[in-house]
Amino acid sequence: MVKSFKTFLKHTAKDYHNQSVNPPVVRASTIIFKSMQDIRKTQNKAKKDPTGGHFDYGRQGTSTTYVLQQILKKMEECYHVFLTPTGFGSVFLAIFSVVRPGDEILVADPVYSPTRLLTQDFLKEFNIKTIFYNPHDLKTLEQNITKKTKLIFVENPGSNSFEFQDLGKIIAIAKKYKIFTAIDNTWGTPYFFKPIKLGFDFSIVSATKYYSGHSDVMGGSLAVNKKVFKHVQKTDKITGLRLGPDDAYLITRGLRTLDIRLDKHESNAKEVAKFLTKYKNIKLLYPYKKNSVNFRMWKKYYSGASGLMGLRIKSKNKNSIIKFVNSLALFGYGYSWGGFESLALHQELREQGNRKYLKLAKDEHLVRLHIGLEDPKDLIEDLKNSLKHIK
């Protein structure tokens, strides 16, 4: 029987052995065997099928983490999925799997600020050069490719400034020069966009966000194609990056409702976006304006949009922007996003890192909103009352 993706999430990984609709939490450091022969059999199976969940030590995982890997593998339509303790752990694992001293990498200018610190500063200590490209001008990408270029790292849309790129064109450029490609797909998740299917070698998702959906767990996933699998397998083994079984269980449980939650995040965000377009002093950073580059690039590759958006607000009074954010009653103030609750953050320019292609006027300010699962009418009313403070 052919199942839709929505049905798959509800029916996958049932545990008929324990008569449970969710798989049990299996915690293990030592994995015990009946004999040395059994250990060797498991190790031989792992050599023949390294993606098959044949473990001889707890650092490799347990049946709980393996179940999550299998669910995500189906979602991503990829060769294998590696799990890490945080979303940023997956960024680290992807880059360190293929980049070596003397290499160069090209990185989208609006990447997550820790990714920027890793590539721009930390990798420099290993004699690895990072060049940032303009997400809306891919000439800045191709003209900086050299014989030393090993990886193109994309985040889509851009962190906080929400630029949507021509992903197919990036893949074409990478294949032309035989360069690896990685994308941080946390905003869209494979529910709205499948990077490996398009041609990316690595697809990164912070499971902390929408996968979990309840703001109470940390985790990351790194989906890969067959070409880079052995590179990642080797690095994964050496670094010991592991997601614990308790976190894996919570993420698996969260995935059951991923489709329902993301559909609701999207519908709520669209209603809020429609309301915010009435304000002339606000430029909405969300794919809603049909004649814009961002909308066209979003529509070309995505089947939907999540609940995270940005506001570029014009005001000569910075304190009034902070007052606007502080007066929101239904929006929490905190980092991360992707949970059931709405969040708001005033974004200092320094928090964006040394951005080369982000141009903000002195009277422009960035505010990030995550639109949660509340009644959108209540969220709109809250925003309406708080926006009065902007002068």
- 183, 199: one domain: yes
**Higher-confidence residue: 23 or 214?**
214
Which of 192, 222, 255 is the last residue in one of the domains?
A: 255
pLDDT of residue 353: 67
Per-residue pLDDT for 104 more than 90? yes
Listed residues 199, 228, 255: the one ending a domain: 255
Does 269 lie in the same domain as 233?
Answer: no
What pLDDT does 272 receive?
Answer: 98
Indicate whether 67 and 119 sit together in one domain. yes
Q: What is the pLDDT of residue 154?
A: 98
The arrangement of strands across the sheet holding 149-155 comes to: 80-84, 220-224, 202-206, 180-184, 149-155, 104-108, 129-133
- Specify the pLDDT at position 1: 47
My answer on whether 247 and 269 are in the same domain is no
The reply to whether 166 and 49 lie within a common domain is yes
Q: What is the CATH number of the domain that holds 209?
A: 3.40.640.10
Total structural domains within the chain: 2
pLDDT at residue 13, rounded to an integer:
81
72 Cα distance to chain centroid = 13
Boundary-marking domain end, from 236, 255, 274 = 255
Expressed in percent and rounded to 5, the helix, strand and coil fractions of the chain are: 40, 15, 40
Q: 201 and 267 in one domain?
A: no
Asked if residue 12 and residue 159 are part of one domain, the reply reads yes
Tell me which residue range forms the domain holding 186: 5-255
Q: Report the CATH number at residue 365.
A: 3.90.1150.10
Residues 326 and 247 in one domain: no
8 A C-beta contact, residue 261 and residue 210: yes
Edge-to-edge strand list for the sheet holding 308-314: 282-285, 308-314, 364-370, 343-347
pLDDT mean over 267-284: 96
User: What's the pLDDT score for residue 352?
Assistant: 67
Q: Are residues 339 and 379 in the same domain?
A: yes
Q: Tell me the whole-structure pTM to 2 decimals.
A: 0.94
Residues above pLDDT 70, as percent of the chain: 98
Q: What is the pLDDT of residues 307-335, one digit of tens each?
A: 999 999 999 999 999 999 999 999 999 99
- Residues 244 and 279 placed together within one structural domain of the fold: no
Tell the burial category of 210 from Cβ atoms under 10 Å away from its Cβ (0-12, 13-18, 19+).
buried
In one-letter notation, the amino acid at residue 196 is I
Location of structure tokens 């940005």:
310
